[in-house]
Amino acid sequence: MDRVIPKKFWTNQRLALAAGGVLVISMLVYNFMLADHRSKLNVEKDKITISNVSTGAFEEFIVVTGVVQPLKTIRLDAIAGGYVTEKLVEGGGMVKAGDVLLRLENQNLRLSFLQSETEANRLVNDLQNTRQRLRVERYSQRKALSDLDFQLDQAKDTWQRQEKLFKEKVIPEQDYLKAKRDYEKLVEQRKIEAESQKYQEENSQIQIRQLEQTLAQTQKNVALWQQTLNNLVVKAPVSGQLSTVDVEVGSNISQGQNIGQIDDLDGFKMRVGIDEHYISRIFAGLGGSFEFNGKNHKLQITRVYPEVKNGRFEVDMIFSDGTPTGIKRGQSSPIRLELGKAAQATLLPVGGFFSDTGGNWVYVIEPSGKRAAKRSITLGRKNPEFFEVLEGLKPGDQVITSSYENFGDNEVLEF
């Protein structure tokens, strides 16, 4: 006897349709919720530079170039102008203090010296003649006073006798009064003569002092002209190396014109050019170092020249531990100039990535090592070797530090 078999709901067809639906839904869920939609670019790992983020002492410094110069350079400027008649020493030679370097000629200076000397001689003669004249006048004045005193004694004697005779009624009053007036007149004349001679003496002394002062000033002028003539012979003020002499025989030199310089070879310094960006952070006392003959030598800034030329300013640095043996004038060397004290920080090596990202993000290698992804970061200070990392990276992270120029806007790099 036949029996009715119940019909199955999950037929093979339905199971296949359900499985297909689940698969489609799973793919849709994965695609919209789990799949990585970031833009990707395949790169060759051996053509990029990967650097490790580390922790260490961040030293803020810049690398600059210094040129060895003499510790002291003496400029030779022409004190007196003229044309060169003789050049005794060429540039590059060693000289001693007092050695004659150049001889100049200036006819106008010689003429002025002769005129000043002639004027001084004239004043000497005038002073001698004035003193001689005053001496003669004093004799004449003394003689005049002597004559007046003699006449005064005679008049006084006559007046006294006339007075006695007048009292005795021997002579008339007219004779007595005449003798009296003659005496009084001579008394007044002597007084006037004495005052006149005193005035003449004072005036003569003033004339002599004026002449002496004029003579002294003229003699000073003569001495100055003589010194100026002496300056036509140019001598080395100090011992050292005559590095340059920028004149030749026959050339005309103006007063104050630079004609060369002498380098004092007893010591050296480094003249260093620095970008104007750092001018507010550079001051006397900052230290630095450089390598020479396989040894590290310390330097210290002693002078800052604030004038900026072509975007750079200069400083002088001296050798803290003495001048290195064998160093020569004109040698150049890179110098590590310290801008601050070392401090612990997270360090990222410097690379070409910065010019492409401005330091705002980098590609960080994922733990699998098969790809790198963009990550936002914050950088702080920079030295020629490292950036100071403030946010976004931790020690042990691996970062692509070479140029990102060929990576476009892709968010993921696959190796």
Regarding whether 115 and 89 lie in a shared domain, the answer is no
At 182, which CATH number? 1.10.287.1490
Q: Which residues of the chain have pLDDT under 70?
A: 1-22, 24-38
189 and 115 inside one domain: yes
Q: Is residue 36 in some structural domain?
A: no
On whether both 191 and 136 belong to a single domain, the answer is yes
Domain identity same for 390 and 332: no
Joined together, the tokens standing for residue 197 give: 């001679």
Q: For residues 178 and 158, what is the distance between their CA atoms, to the nearest angstrom?
A: 10
Domain that holds residue 158: 108-230
Convert 63-88 into a string of H (helix), E (strand) and C (coil): EEEEEEEEEEEEEEECCCCEEEEEEC
Residues 305 and 348 in one domain: no
pLDDT digits (tens, 9 = 90+) for 256-269: 888 888 887 778 89
Separation CA 272–CA 335 (nearest Å): 9
- Residue 287 maps to which CATH number? 2.40.30.170
In the chain, % helix, strand, coil (3-state, to 5) comes to 40, 35, 30
What is the DSSP secondary-structure string of 258-289?
EEEEEEEEEEEEEEEEEEGGGGGG--TT-EEE
Residues in a beta bridge with 344: 57
pTM of the model: 0.52
Whether residues 284 and 135 fall in one domain: no
* Overall number of domains in the chain: 4
DSSP letter (8 states) at residue 126:
H
Give CA angle at 173 (169, 177), nearest 5°: 135
137 and 191 both lie in a single domain? yes
Q: Are residues 188 and 334 in the same domain?
A: no
Residue 19: predicted pLDDT: 67
Residue 348 in any domain: the answer is yes
Same domain, 197 and 151: yes
Any idea what the CATH number is for the domain that residue 83 is in?
2.40.50.100
DSSP characters over 170-212: SS-HHHHHHHHHHHHHHHHHHHHHHHHHHHHHHHHHHHHHHHH
**Is 211 a domain residue?**
yes
Residues belonging to the chain: 415
| pLDDT for the residue numbered 1 | 47
**Judging by beta carbons within 10 Å of its beta carbon (0-12, 13-18, 19+), is residue 32 exposed, middle or buried?**
exposed
Residues 271 and 292 in one domain: yes
Q: What is the pLDDT of residues 187-243, one digit of tens each?
A: 888 898 888 888 888 888 888 888 888 888 888 888 888 887 888 888 888 888 887
The CA distance from 388 to 116, in Å, is: 75
**Residue 99: burial class (beta carbons within 10 Å; 0-12, 13-18, 19+):** middle
Q: Which residues touch 269 (CB under 8 Å, ≥6 apart)? A: 68, 69, 70, 71, 302, 316, 317, 318, 319
Torsion of CA 142, 144, 149, 152, to 10 degrees: -170
Instruction: Supply the pLDDT for residue 251.
Output: 80
pLDDT value of residue 395: 94
- Is residue 133 domain-shared with residue 218, that is, in the same domain? yes
- pLDDT tens for residues 396-414? 999 999 999 888 888 889 8
Helix (H/G/I), strand (E/B), else coil: 393: coil
How far is the C-alpha of 270 from the C-alpha of 68, rounded, in Å?
5
Residue 16 covered by a domain: no
274 within domain boundaries: yes
Q: Is residue 1 one of the residues assigned to a domain?
A: no
The two counts, helices (H) then strands (E), for the chain are 4, 22
* pLDDT the model gives residue 40: 82
The residue out of 301, 319, 338 marking a domain boundary is 338
Residue 359 included in any domain:
yes
Q: Is residue 404 part of a domain?
A: yes
* CATH number reported for the structural domain that contains residue 365 in this entry: 2.40.420.20
Same domain, 314 and 291: yes
